[in-house]
């Protein structure tokens, strides 16, 4: 059995019980908790896309709020101006819009690395944020654009049905299926020859170029894929929030995406997923606990990052390795 096949088998064995638990949760927890988890899964999709750049390509972006916001606004515009109510068409609009923006921004950004790359991504995202405020008669400005509940697979919310119940059940499972699909696609990407080439570029750009890897082209494709994943997350976020405002384009949200990934462990595949879910719960708790939630959350996150430099999943992997070595050294009775 090849290492890739063995790795896929281990992933399936680990993922199956987790997916089963996620599928059962809406029936055993309060609707609010299910909706909160939906937010976490949506952010996890964005974190997966971001980590393709940071963890596998070695590029730190401070502008991923742009693709999340473009995906969200594409949904809002399609609903308001084209009167489309199908979630599938809205997702397509969000993916296409974010892909277009990521393709254009990528042409500019991937020619640079390190701090120059980060500054460019930040600057371009803030251009979009400024435009969203400038053309407030189109974007709704600070009031935003309200988006009614869409149809899922052609089925609309029932007359008199509670929206919370809709979000906690039907929409939760919709998000869960797309999350599982996105995770599977990303797993295939990072373990494909393309993913291995990205890791070679991350480890030694000069050596990768010497053996024939087209560094600029690979980085641009990774940038595009990363933007599409983040745009998909933005499109899925809209029905949960019910409102799209320019706030999701601001640099603060890009910083949160970075925190997702670093908190969970950007050197592991599952780290960004865990980090996104944990961060979402931490932020929700902090907001409800104190008016100084930003300071509280900052202190907690800095403490966690300092205590767990390899992230949550990095710590789990290290503990599992120690336990495995200890078990192997234990003499048989």
**Dihedrals φ, ψ of 28, to 5°?**
-125, -5
% of the chain exceeding 70 in pLDDT: 92
pLDDT at 207: 86
The two structure tokens encoding residue 225: 């894929």
The two structure tokens encoding residue 272: 């960004």
pLDDT at 156: 77
pLDDT at 73: 94
CB neighbours (10 Å) of residue 238?
Answer: 26
pLDDT at 282: 86
pLDDT at 46: 95
pLDDT at 242: 87
Alpha-carbon span 100 to 227, nearest angstrom:
9
SS3 (DSSP) at 153 = coil
Alpha-carbon span 101 to 333, nearest angstrom:
63
CB 184 within 8 A of CB 15: no
Please tell me what DSSP assigns to residue 155. Answer: B
pLDDT at 235: 95
CB neighbours (10 Å) of residue 174?
Answer: 20
Give CA angle at 23 (18, 28), nearest 5°: 105
The two structure tokens encoding residue 20: 């089963």
DSSP-based helix, strand, coil % in the chain, nearest 5: 80, 0, 20
Alpha-carbon span 273 to 51, nearest angstrom:
10
User: DSSP per residue over 278-313, as a string?
Assistant: HHHHHHHHHHHH-TTHHHHHHHHHHHHHHH-TTHHH
For the domain covering 3-249, report its CATH number.
1.10.3470
CB 70 within 8 A of CB 232: no
Alpha-carbon span 311 to 316, nearest angstrom:
9
**What stretches in the chain show pLDDT beneath 70?**
1-8, 10-11, 158-161, 324-333
CB 280 within 8 A of CB 39: yes
Instruction: Kindly provide the residue ranges of all beta strands, DSSP E only, lying in the chain, ordered along the sequence.
Output: 145-146, 243-244
């Amino acid at each position: 059995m090849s290492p890739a096949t063995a790795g896929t088998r281990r992933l399936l064995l680990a993922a199956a019980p987790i997916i089963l638990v996620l599928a059962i949760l809406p029936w055993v927890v309060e609707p609010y908790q299910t909706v909160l988890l939906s937010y976490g899964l949506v952010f996890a999709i964005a974190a997966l896309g971001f980590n393709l750049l940071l963890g596998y390509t070695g590029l730190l972006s401070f502008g991923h709020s742009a693709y999340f916001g473009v995906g969200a606004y594409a949904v809002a515009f399609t609903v308001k101006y084209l009167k489309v109510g199908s979630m599938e068409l809205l997702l397509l609009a969000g993916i296409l819009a974010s892909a277009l923006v990521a393709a254009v921004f990528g042409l500019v950004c991937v020619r640079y690395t390190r701090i120059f790359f980060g500054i460019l991504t930040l600057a371009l995202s803030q251009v979009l944020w400024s435009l969203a405020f400038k053309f407030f008669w189109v974007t709704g400005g600070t009031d935003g654009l309200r988006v009614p509940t869409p149809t899922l697979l052609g089925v609309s919310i029932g007359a008199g049905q509670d929206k919370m119940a809709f979000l906690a059940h039907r929409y939760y499972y919709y998000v869960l299926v797309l999350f599982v699909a996105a995770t599977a696609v990303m797993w295939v990407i990072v373990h494909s020859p393309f993913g291995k080439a990205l890791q070679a570029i991350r480890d030694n750009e000069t050596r990768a170029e010497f053996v024939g890897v087209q560094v600029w082209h690979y980085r641009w494709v990774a940038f595009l894929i990363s933007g599409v994943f983040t745009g998909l997350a933005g499109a899925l976020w809209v029905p949960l929030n019910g409102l799209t405002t320019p706030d999701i384009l601001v640099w603060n949200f890009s910083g949160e995406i970075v925190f997702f990934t670093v908190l969970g462990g950007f050197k592991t595949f599952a780290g960004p997923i865990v980090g996104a879910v944990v961060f979402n719960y931490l932020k929700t708790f902090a907001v409800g606990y104190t008016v100084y939630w930003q300071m509280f959350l900052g202190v907690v996150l800095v403490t966690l990052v300092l205590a767990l430099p390899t992230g949550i999943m990095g710590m789990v992997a290290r503990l599992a390795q120690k336990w495995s070595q200890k078990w192997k050294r234990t003499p048989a009775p």
